[in-house]
Structure 1
Amino acid sequence: MKVLAITGYKAFELGIFKQDHKGITYIKKAIKKRLVPMIEDGLEWVIISGQLGTELWAAEVIFELQLDYSELRLAVLTPHLDQEAKWNDTNKEQYEFILSQADFVESITKRPYDNPRQLKVKNQYIVKKSDALMAFYDDEKKGSPFFMVQEAQKKIEHGNYHIFYITPYDIEDIINEEEYNESSNWNY
């Protein structure tokens, strides 16, 4: 696998409204835990659409990993121009930083948002351009990642494609592992 798409829940879908929310740390650790073996197996490119939440956190993880894996590249393929137009300043700042550091940035429809079809086209295009999808996703809580997961499932039926899930249980395991490690360091 050379090209991996990443998607997942938007921050507000997870009840995350601040950049310093503790949950972001655990989500990023789960992403990193999944990415490292893939990189060591030959992963070259990660594609995101640049949506708030999981995708931008994944980009931050990629920048961190690029310090050790300089061959890893990030592409941001936005569904339309000016995706961030209605975002608050903090979110715009994070987004613009990620775009400035990405190895490739392109808008799929090359025009500002004008209809929901642009989002469907984005999902189809990113799945078509990737070998696999990593999704922070739970069937119990469909949310925004459902649509890209659905596209990926169609591609699985027609060819060689994979979906790697990060679930709330994976996040819970990381939290429990950290709590255990912290409690193991107590001095009696």
Structure 2
Amino acid sequence: MNSLLIMGYTSFDLGIFDEKDLKVSVIKKAVKNRLIGFLEEGVEWLIFTGNLGFEYWALEVAKTLQKDYEFKIGTIFAFETQGQNWNEANQLKLAAFKEVDFVKYAYETYENASQFRQYNDFLLENTAGAFIFYDEENVTKLKYMVEKMRNTATYELFFLDFEDLQDTFEEMNE
């Protein structure tokens, strides 16, 4: 697999509004362990969509891993206007998604709902699999993309869930 899409819960979905929250450290540790595995198996590209929360934390981890592994990072935003109304702290996070090896915008601005379907189709057609922080018992709008991925025959799905985070937390405290 040469390209891996990274998606997951937003900080709002998780109720995490402080970067110093212990949960962020646990998530980053779990992400690091999984990303190292993907990179050692030959993943060449990590692709993000520019969402805050899990994606941002995974991006931070990925950028540190670029010092030790040879791979590229790309962000494919749905819209050029993504994040334009975010506060200053979140604008800095948005800038981090733009400071990668490849940046692309699917559309200039939002015009209609079909753009999201086309955008999601593009992501699936241009990645071989996805690493997703998602739990079936905590459903969000991610469920539609997960269903679409499951219905794509050759698409590989790798999940991080709350049980994995509990295991990581316990390992960190041994």
**Bin for the TM-score computed over the shorter chain:** over 0.9
Q: Can you give the 5+ residue segments of structure 1 that lack an aligned partner in the other structure? A: 182-188
Using a 3 Å threshold, how does the CA distance of structure 1 residues 119 and 24 change in structure 2: closer, same or farther? farther
Cα distance in 2, alignment partners of residues 27 and 61 from structure 1: 10
Equivalent residues in 2 for 1:50-61 (5 A)? 50-61=50-61
- 1:72 Cα deviation (Å)? 1.0
Cα distance in 2, alignment partners of residues 168 and 47 from structure 1: 22
Using a 3 Å threshold, how does the CA distance of structure 1 residues 172 and 88 change in structure 2: closer, same or farther? same
Cα distance in 2, alignment partners of residues 48 and 98 from structure 1: 8
Using a 3 Å threshold, how does the CA distance of structure 1 residues 115 and 20 change in structure 2: closer, same or farther? farther
The residue aligned with 1:134 is 131
- 1:88 Cα deviation (Å)? 1.3
CA RMSD of aligned residues (A): 1.3
Q: Greater CA deviation, 27-36 or 117-126?
A: 117-126
The residue aligned with 1:186 is none
- 1:65 Cα deviation (Å)? 0.5
Residues 52, 93 of structure 2: 8 Å contact kept: no
- 1:148 Cα deviation (Å)? 2.0
Identity of matched residues, %: 33
The residue aligned with 2:166 is 172
Q: TM-score, normalised by structure 1?
A: 0.88
The residue aligned with 1:184 is none
Segments of 4+ moved more than 6 angstroms = none
2:92 counterpart of 1:93: yes
Residues 7, 133 of structure 1: 8 Å contact kept: yes
Output one character per residue of 1:77-112: Cα deviation in whole Å (capped at 9) or x when no partner. 001112011211101111112312x10000012x12
Cα distance in 2, alignment partners of residues 91 and 50 from structure 1: 11
Output one character per residue of 1:46-65: Cα deviation in whole Å (capped at 9) or x when no partner. 11111111111111111010
User: Secondary structure of 2:74's partner?
Assistant: strand
User: Secondary structure of 1:13's partner?
Assistant: helix
Residues 123, 147 of structure 1: 8 Å contact kept: no
Output one character per residue of 1:32-79: Cα deviation in whole Å (capped at 9) or x when no partner. 11111111111100111111111111111110100101x211110001
- 1:124 Cα deviation (Å)? 1.7
User: Secondary structure of 2:86's partner?
Assistant: coil
2:56 counterpart of 1:48: no
Cα distance in 2, alignment partners of residues 30 and 177 from structure 1: 10
User: Secondary structure of 1:108's partner?
Assistant: strand
The residue aligned with 2:22 is 22
The residue aligned with 2:102 is 104
Alignment-mate amino acid for residue 161 of structure 1: Y
The residue aligned with 1:9 is 9
Alignment-mate amino acid for residue 83 of structure 1: Q
- 1:15 Cα deviation (Å)? 0.4
User: Secondary structure of 1:125's partner?
Assistant: helix
The residue aligned with 2:63 is 63
Cα distance in 2, alignment partners of residues 54 and 117 from structure 1: 25
Structure with greater Cα Rg: 1
